[in-house]
Amino acid sequence: MSTISKVAERAGVSRTTVSHVLNHADRVSKPLRERVLAAIEELGYVPNPQAQSLRTGRTNLVAIFIPDILNPYFTELVKTVQTEIEASGMDTLVFNTDVPGGHPELHGREYLKQLSRKRVDGVIVADFALHGMLDQIEQIDLPVVFIGPLDSPGIDSVSLDDYGGGYLMGTHLARAGHRRIAHVTGPTAFRESGARSAGFEQALADHGVPLDPTLRFEGSFLPPSGQAAVGWLCDTHAEALPSAVFFANSLMAIGALTEFYDRGIRVPGDIAVATFDHIAQLEYVRPRLTTVGNSPEVLARRATQMLLDRLGGDVGQASRRETVPCVLMEYETA
């Protein structure tokens, strides 16, 4: 059985040096680090995580809160966080709050109790439903980064420019000559949804496009609500469909494309479709959706780096707010 002493002997260094390498200390030179890592590889040495935790006071675990692991947006986000965290020698613990038959905040509170017992070193929160628990999140006395818009003074955050993205899409559709545009929003309780709608509607107003409240439908950010929105449009505006519709996220737009197809309505021949979010699944959707936003990977990488900075000792700065700009990607549907 390999031991830290055998690794030290093979590498020609002290046990302390091996320990520094295992605990990612900066005091070890690159050549020495590589020598130790080569010895670890040759001997197949596996560190004891419990012993490491006792020595360093760290668990080398980062928790991430998401609402739905089956949602492709959050799947991409978690995958990116895990890749970045593991590259730093740590592991991730994923908390999925929206379990069947439950309430996200109830599960969130239970998970926070676990965090309060210091089972992790830091937390990334990417769950809209936990906005109402920010006071409790701040009290866990761990580095926390929130993915999404946030006003809490004690928590770092990174978010999309949702308002700017909505404005970009509104401008694009207005300049394309659309005058009757339907809008399928996300849940009104989510700040992201409100910001996207506000930017979109401001752009229409700035370009002289009238806002028709009868062409506004509140969706759920999930594909079935995109299908329901199309059914609602066809039922309430059967004599004259709008020339375009903007969905507040891509999953709803994907559901809508299915419903338009089933009803024999051509996209973009009969109606233009635009959406928000750059998720990887859009590469496989035809016709290709015109969208605005940014990749979940971009947000995840930035959030992870912010957390690693805090874990690396950057604790003196005030909380940071970073905004990722949105990009318009014009394809076939609008």
The answer on pLDDT for 153 being more than 80 is no
Q: Is the pLDDT at 265 greater than 90, yes or no?
A: yes
Report the distance separating Cα 293 and Cα 277, nearest Å. Answer: 5
**pLDDT for res 111:** 65
- Specify the pLDDT at position 55: 46
User: Whole-prediction pTM value?
Assistant: 0.79
Q: Which CATH architecture is the domain 61-160+296-325 placed in?
A: 3-Layer(aba) Sandwich (3.40)
Average pLDDT over residues 315-333: 88
Greater model confidence, 116 or 149: 149
Measured distance CA(263)–CA(114) in Å, rounded: 49
Q: Report residue 50's pLDDT band, with 50, 70 and 90 as the boundaries.
A: very low
* Fold match flag (61-160+296-325 vs 162-293): yes
Lowest mean pLDDT of 78-82, 98-102, 108-112, name the range: 98-102
Domain chopping of the chain, boundaries? 4-47, 61-160+296-325, 162-293
| Residue pLDDT, tens place only, 124-143 | 999 876 766 666 776 667 88
Tell me if the bond preceding 268 is cis, omega within 30° of 0: yes
Give the CATH superfamily of 162-293.
Response regulator (3.40.50.2300)
Percent of the chain with pLDDT over 70: 84
Q: How far apart are CA 278 and CA 196, in angstroms?
A: 14
Cite the DSSP H helix spans in 60-161.
Answer: 72-87, 104-116, 134-138
CATH of 4-47, one of 3.30.565.60, 1.10.260.40, 3.40.1160.10, 1.10.260.30: 1.10.260.40
Residue 29 corresponds to which tokens in the numbers above? Answer: 């030179």
Find the mean pLDDT for residues 80-109: 77
Write the pLDDT tens digit of every residue in 215-257: 999 999 999 999 999 999 999 998 899 999 999 999 999 999 9
pLDDT at residue 154 is higher than 90: no
H-assigned helices in 127-270: 134-138, 162-175, 191-206, 223-236, 250-262
Pick the closest to residue 82 from 32, 130, 124, 19 (CA basis). Answer: 124
Considering the chain, what is the average pLDDT of its residues?
A: 86
Encoded amino acid at 4, one letter: I
Interatomic CA distance for residues 298 and 21, integer angstroms: 29
Instruction: Return d(Cα 134, Cα 150) in angstroms, integer.
Output: 9
CB-CB contact of 276 with 292 (8 Å)? yes
